[in-house]
């Protein structure tokens, strides 16, 4: 079959799908990494809150308690900041996934156009073959009916 007029479009669309998939994978990896950091910070915060509670029960000087409180506030701020990063990563992943879906949709449309083109070409080839067969049969019939004269 001749080279499809959609071949270039299909190649470009496939490259765009692959690039979008790569960006989506990277965004997902960033999201997973950010979520992991958030979970570490939350566990760290929980551990130090437990230490403060436990240390407070055993007696702690006011200076030490104030230092602990400042440290806990910094940890809480770090958790909030990291939660914001996780939220940004989630949004980025969703955006990249949507872009991938759109690129894939375009690719599927081009594939459908190429398939229709192939079907039209096949039908045209079948019509040509049928015409040749009909002409051959007609000529043969003509030759058979007129050769006996």
Which residue in this structure is represented by tokens 């910094």? Answer: 74
Instruction: Determine if residue 60 is left, alpha or beta; phi over 0 gives left, psi from -120 to 50 gives alpha, anything else beta.
Output: beta
pLDDT tier, 24 (very low <50, low <70, confident <90, very high otherwise): very high
| Residue-averaged pLDDT of the chain | 90
Fold of the 7-146 domain: Helix Hairpins (1.10.287)
Tokens of 61: 């000087």
pLDDT tier, 37 (very low <50, low <70, confident <90, very high otherwise): very high
Q: Which of 99, 22, 78, 17 is nearest to 30 (CA)?
A: 22
Instruction: Determine if residue 134 is left, alpha or beta; phi over 0 gives left, psi from -120 to 50 gives alpha, anything else beta.
Output: alpha
Write down the domain spans for the chain: 7-146
Sign of the C-alpha dihedral, residues 18, 24, 26, 29? negative
The tens digit of pLDDT for each residue in 86-107 reads 999 999 999 999 999 999 999 9
Alpha carbon 24 to its chain centroid, in Å, reads 5
CA distance 45 to 50: 9
Tokens of 76: 């809480």
Q: Is the predicted pLDDT of residue 1 greater than 50, yes or no?
A: no
The tens digit of pLDDT for each residue in 52-84 reads 787 666 777 888 888 888 999 999 999 999 999
User: Using an 8 Å Cβ cutoff, are 45 and 107 in contact?
Assistant: no
Which residue in this structure is represented by tokens 């200076």? Answer: 63
Q: Is the predicted pLDDT of residue 129 greater than 60, yes or no?
A: yes
């Amino acid at each position: 079959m001749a080279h499809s007029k959609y071949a270039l479009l299909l190649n470009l669309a496939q490259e765009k799908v692959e690039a979008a998939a790569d960006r989506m994978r990277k965004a997902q990896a960033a999201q997973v990494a950010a979520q992991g950091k958030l979970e570490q910070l939350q566990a760290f915060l929980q551990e130090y809150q437990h230490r403060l509670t436990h240390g407070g029960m055993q007696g702690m000087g006011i200076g030490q308690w104030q230092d602990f409180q400042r440290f806990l506030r910094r940890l809480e701020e770090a958790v909030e900041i990291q939660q914001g990063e996780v939220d940004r990563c989630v949004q980025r992943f969703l955006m990249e996934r949507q872009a991938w879906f759109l690129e894939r949709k375009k690719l599927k449309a081009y594939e459908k156009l190429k398939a229709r083109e192939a079907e039209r070409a096949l039908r045209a080839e079948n019509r040509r073959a049928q015409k040749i067969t009909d002409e051959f049969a007609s000529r043969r019939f003509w030759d058979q009916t007129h050769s006996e004269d």
